[in-house]
Structure 1
């Protein structure tokens, strides 16, 4: 009798031992971006077939409302996680449920998903559970810097960015890597739970040449915007604080130059070597007035590339020529609504992921007038979903300059920057400097720099074109002529500030 009892106890002990297990999860928290897919690893040790067990993933104090419940071969999901949660493999070597892998996959992450998740596994005579912490983050848009002259001669630099979670840290730095103290920081939170940040600081021309504003998360991820302080034009006619200041100073400079020229002309006979000296003085002044702020188009054309429209990624609205160089709206196209037709975007067949690349676009076909509606820039490869303006942002992989008829010229930065271009460009040059993270626009016939957008490119980008609607002239991608070597090189410089709005796309 005693032997029977001992045998029964041993059998029962062996049975319990065979059914005991431990739930294993990572020690560190899991960090994932908003909108991404994440795996919360959880597995049974020693490995055991989990198909016959009950698996329950739930958040604190919500055992009876599990995110996902696996029971008797069926899966039940909480309403807020419906079609977003599933069981998955925690590694490529995993054998799945049969091997005891009960990891949870969450798709289309939201900020509200940030929480602790408990992995609970139970059998007939054993159960165990462990907690996995999920941290959700959102990397905001690249900071955009805007200068505003102050009465004391300094410049107030404003730095704005949106789409962050949690609140980012803000830091200012000069070109000498000197940390600057911000004048202030304000934060606001939108209905989507994400933060918008506005910081500002005041500097003088002697403080630095290049100023940067960085926003970063505790994870180490950050975005940076830069502004060339020395390139800021203080004689800005749009300065509402004193609309007569710029014209007055310009008139004063012209008067002084005129007076100097008059004096040189009047007393030219008293100067030694008068003929040669007169020619040098007069020509020198004339050359300076004409070429100040100009760019060397021949130098830009050394980086010229041939661009054609990619027919495979073409919206049915645009019409493209056989050589894929001319684009305009199709005759049968009907605008979907009022405003600029952003859906008419066409993209270049060429992709760039390094180096400098230059191309030119003709915006007039005589005798027709210059186009009033167009959009020209670059887009990240694979992000060709042009529906409306809200979808075409630097954080989404788009950078462009737009001409919207009576609404003027503007960029797609956040907020957009409006420009006054006179005369209206008839031929636009575009220089993509991938490595420096700059996209520059030039008015070719006027040999003028229009605008430079500063960002951080990741992955390959392609040229982007939109012909607009209603113009007689089409948008024509030109074959740049061979550059002509000049004995005196004029550096490619800009008297316009850099727009640091774009971004490293992730």
Structure 2
């Protein structure tokens, strides 16, 4: 009798076990592929061609899927849209026309990274890659910077203080930088206010003047720096007696 009971219960247990395993695998498979962007900001220099990374892990062929890159603060918000293998240019934001593309040969591997050409200061911000069919999204932050070496020129003589007046100017920075005058020992000199001009290309020009007195050392440094993009440019001038 005990043997018959075991035989009659066995198939029910097996059926139940198979059903549970099937449900677990179904739930697992639904959520196993995730879009991976970049945990660190992508830093680009104005004029560069860069790649904003985004891929599915594990890889899934997305060739036939709708793929979207967007920025929420734009109207329209679309940076790039691919649907059934064709780009939807008519809904793309005008500032990105002709500057964004995907690597179509890598879509089979689940790679939907965006190539952005000729980076502009206005491109800085957060980008989202999105696959509607999988309801998967990931964010990538782009930081844009530009730096240029300063130029020092002699603009006059200060008879009252017995020194010379120097001007330092640096063009083509982004974001807005800081300008400092230093002596040969690295001590900050008291100087006039920094004048800042933002051009139509969104790049900054900064300039400042300083009076170098006899008590100062002969080597004077103009330093322009932008901490957000970790850029420093310096120019040194030697003032003879």
Superposed pair shares fold, TM > 0.5: yes
User: Is 1:102 matched up with 2:112?
Assistant: yes
Q: Residue 73 of structure 1 aligns with which residue?
A: 85
Shift of 1:167: 0.9
User: Is 1:14 matched up with 2:25?
Assistant: yes
**Where does the alignment leave 5 or more consecutive residues of structure 1 unmatched?**
90-94, 232-506
CA-to-partner distance for each residue in 1:22-42, whole Å, 9 max, x for gaps? 111111111111111111111
Shift of 1:226: 2.1
Among 76, 79, 99, the alignment partner of 1:84 is 99
Please tell me whether the aligned partners of residues 145 and 226 of structure 1 are also in contact (alpha carbons under 8 angstroms).
Answer: no
Shift of 1:134: 0.8
Query: Residues 134 and 8 from structure 1, CA distance in 2 versus in 1: closer, same or farther, beyond 3 angstroms?
Result: same
Shift of 1:52: 3.1
Q: CA RMSD in A?
A: 2.6
Distance in 1, matches of 2:103 and 2:191, equals: 46
Distance in 2, matches of 1:11 and 1:39, equals: 40
Distance in 1, matches of 2:235 and 2:73, equals: 43
Shift of 1:61: 5.0
CA-to-partner distance for each residue in 1:42-63, whole Å, 9 max, x for gaps? 1111222122332111001559
Please tell me whether the aligned partners of residues 145 and 225 of structure 1 are also in contact (alpha carbons under 8 angstroms).
Answer: no
Please tell me whether the aligned partners of residues 84 and 106 of structure 1 are also in contact (alpha carbons under 8 angstroms).
Answer: yes
Please tell me whether the aligned partners of residues 143 and 214 of structure 1 are also in contact (alpha carbons under 8 angstroms).
Answer: no
Q: Which has the larger radius of gyration?
A: 1
Please tell me whether the aligned partners of residues 157 and 201 of structure 1 are also in contact (alpha carbons under 8 angstroms).
Answer: yes
Q: Residue 37 of structure 1 aligns with which residue?
A: 49
CA-to-partner distance for each residue in 1:185-239, whole Å, 9 max, x for gaps? 11121222111111111121331111110111212222222221116xxxxxxxx
Q: Residue 3 of structure 2 aligns with which residue?
A: none
Q: Residue 170 of structure 2 aligns with which residue?
A: 161
Among 176, 181, 202, the alignment partner of 1:172 is 181
CA-to-partner distance for each residue in 1:281-308, whole Å, 9 max, x for gaps? xxxxxxxxxxxxxxxxxxxxxxxxxxxx
Query: Residues 62 and 175 from structure 1, CA distance in 2 versus in 1: closer, same or farther, beyond 3 angstroms?
Result: closer
Query: Residues 122 and 14 from structure 1, CA distance in 2 versus in 1: closer, same or farther, beyond 3 angstroms?
Result: farther
Normalised TM-score (structure 1): 0.41
Among 220, 225, 234, the alignment partner of 2:230 is 220
Please tell me whether the aligned partners of residues 184 and 201 of structure 1 are also in contact (alpha carbons under 8 angstroms).
Answer: no
Query: Residues 197 and 63 from structure 1, CA distance in 2 versus in 1: closer, same or farther, beyond 3 angstroms?
Result: closer
Please tell me whether the aligned partners of residues 70 and 79 of structure 2 are also in contact (alpha carbons under 8 angstroms).
Answer: yes
Shift of 1:6: 8.1
Please tell me whether the aligned partners of residues 118 and 131 of structure 1 are also in contact (alpha carbons under 8 angstroms).
Answer: yes
Secondary structure at the counterpart of residue 194 of structure 2 = strand
Secondary structure at the counterpart of residue 187 of structure 1 = strand
Distance in 2, matches of 1:222 and 1:103, equals: 31
Normalised TM-score (structure 2): 0.82
User: Is 1:114 matched up with 2:124?
Assistant: yes
Please tell me whether the aligned partners of residues 71 and 79 of structure 2 are also in contact (alpha carbons under 8 angstroms).
Answer: yes
Q: How does 1:95-244 map to 2 (within 5 A)?
A: 96-123=106-133, 126-152=134-160, 153-218=162-227, 219-230=229-240
Distance in 1, matches of 2:85 and 2:20, equals: 33
Please tell me whether the aligned partners of residues 66 and 132 of structure 2 are also in contact (alpha carbons under 8 angstroms).
Answer: yes
Q: Residue 287 of structure 1 aligns with which residue?
A: none
Shift of 1:19: 3.7
